[in-house]
Amino acid sequence: MTEPAGYPFPVGEVAVFQGDLFQARAAVGLWPYVELLPEPGRPAPADLAPREAADGSVGYPVPPERLEAWYTVQWTFRWHGELFECTAATATTLSGNYLGSDEHFAKEHLKRRGIRYRGVFPRHEVTELAEHREDLLQPLHALVRRLAEVDHFRPKAYAVHHGRTYPAAAEADASGLIALTTGHDRPEDLVADTRDLSGGHSLAAPEQLDAWYRIHWAFRWQDGPFQAVGTVDGMVKGVYTGGSWGFADNMQLTPETGPDGVHTRYTVTVDLDGVTDLEQHRTDLLTKQ
């Protein structure tokens, strides 16, 4: 086992890129990328472009599929039988935060920092030195796949024409026609949408369609109802659909101007594992014509 003094990063996040270990972090604003953080004086990772963060630090974003591993690493040890989390290491000492609950022991042997106790100990007095890792890469791959399967929880509209399903507009235009994304292989009985310069959209009358519908996702968070509108950095974003201003205030929901540019809506962005009753809903748009 490699000991903390000889380990590049005794605590924190570590990524393996092209066989080399780097300190790492999630790339804020560039999800799902991971940023590699080379130590001062160490060569930059090959084939990666640098990016400066808001705090002035420089990282090298890399897509997760190019990483061999990404995990958190933590070391624990015992001193006088009590458990500590390692925070720093030298060739002769280990520093650590106390994880036990013996207040008398802590006050007698350790220094207090905030609400925690810590100490610096000679290595020969330390026992049960152990490394602990938590994998971050495989859960990230699983989350990316989960989001892709539902197209990142964005509301979508579809139309079925002669048994084939196409992405479609959620509303008809002023003439009552519905825009379908058909690509350049346009069905013969549909007309081209001249407003689309790419030529990939066609127009259909409602009576030409087998079906036309909208799908969206709804969920509950803190027992409040929300409609999903997409994702942000791997978390689901939802608009509050309840009627309690007190709930919006107490849960510190984010006020945003709605799509109409006038009304305010309240949103939340939360981890998928923190929501309940996540369900897909389908609304028939043909019956509304």
Quick one: pLDDT at residue 1? 41
Q: Please count the helices (runs of H) and the strands (runs of E) in the chain.
A: 3, 22
Quick one: pLDDT at residue 196? 73
| Cα dihedral sign, 106-112-117-118 | negative
CA neighbor of 44 nearest in space, from 79, 18, 81: 18
**What are the CA-CA distances from residue 187 to residues 54, 164, 191, 194, 207 (Å)?**
50, 10, 8, 15, 15
Quick one: pLDDT at residue 185? 81
Quick one: pLDDT at residue 59? 93
Q: Contact at 8 Å (CB) between 103 and 115? A: no
Query: H helices of 80-162, where?
Result: 103-109, 137-149
**What are the CA-CA distances from residue 56 to residues 59, 130, 256 (Å)?**
10, 34, 29
Quick one: pLDDT at residue 4? 60
Q: Which residue has the tokens 């109802």?
A: 225
Quick one: pLDDT at residue 7? 60
Predicted model pTM: 0.64
| Cα dihedral sign, 151-233-54-41 | negative
Residue type, 100: G
Quick one: pLDDT at residue 200? 84
Residues of the chain with confidence (pLDDT) below 70: 1-10, 197, 199, 289
Enter the DSSP assignment of 206. Answer: G
Quick one: pLDDT at residue 145? 85
